[in-house]
Amino acid sequence: MKLIINLVVFTVWGILTVGCASTGQKNAGEASGVVSRFLTTPDGSVDGFLFQDGMQIRFPSHMSTIVTDAVAVGDEVTVKGEESTTNSMWAKHIITSKNANEIDVTSEAKGKMLAPKRERLAAIKNVNNISVRGEIDTLIVEPSGEVSGFLLTEGSLVRLPTDIRRPTKAYDVGQYVEVTGYGSENKFGKSVEASTVQRQSDVYQIDTE
């Protein structure tokens, strides 16, 4: 008798691998759209937002308060920035439609140089150990094409640390993952910097006589 056993294998990665993604569409350095949600860092700052059409806009996190004071979810804005071959743009200027306010997001952070990210996170009281799970809804792509994280269908944003990214495609929309890491949650959303990712990878068939 032939028995087919299906094994769903989960792979746990303490060192993550990610890939490069490209929409094949080149933005011309300017995009307009309606803001659907903000992108937050693990310490709760905002460093980007998404348009309803999926366009991803990025800017320095030290501009978080200035941008969120002028822009809200549901606002229509125009962004001028750098060209890329992905659906992600590094912003230089953000122009709001409601009052034609133009925000220059290229200004340098003032004061002392920032400490390394892990040291900053460890010093912030609102950063906690967090576990999230669910299906990947959206891949977060850098203007360079590198996947730097993903949004889950339940709303959490998972960030993949720069020092453990790898040039191998490992994540797809619709894939189920379980993530542990540290981060925070505020009115702009929940963000987790991943320490480990457990992903549903493959289904193997084992034939036994």
What local confidence, expressed as pLDDT, does residue 108 receive? 58
Please check whether residue 16 is in contact with residue 192, taking contact to mean a CB–CB distance below 8 angstroms.
no
Residues 6+ apart with CB under 8 A from 160: 16, 18, 147, 148, 149, 194
Kindly give the pairing relationship between strand 88-96 and strand 56-58.
parallel
**pLDDT band with cut points at 50, 70 and 90 for residue 39:** very high
pLDDT higher at 16 or 89: 89
Both tokens of 176, joined, read 């189920």
pLDDT higher at 25 or 179: 179
pLDDT higher at 67 or 28: 67
- For residue 18, pLDDT beyond 60: no
What local confidence, expressed as pLDDT, does residue 152 receive? 97
Task: Give CA–CA dist 43/23, Å, rounded.
Answer: 29
- For residue 139, pLDDT beyond 70: yes
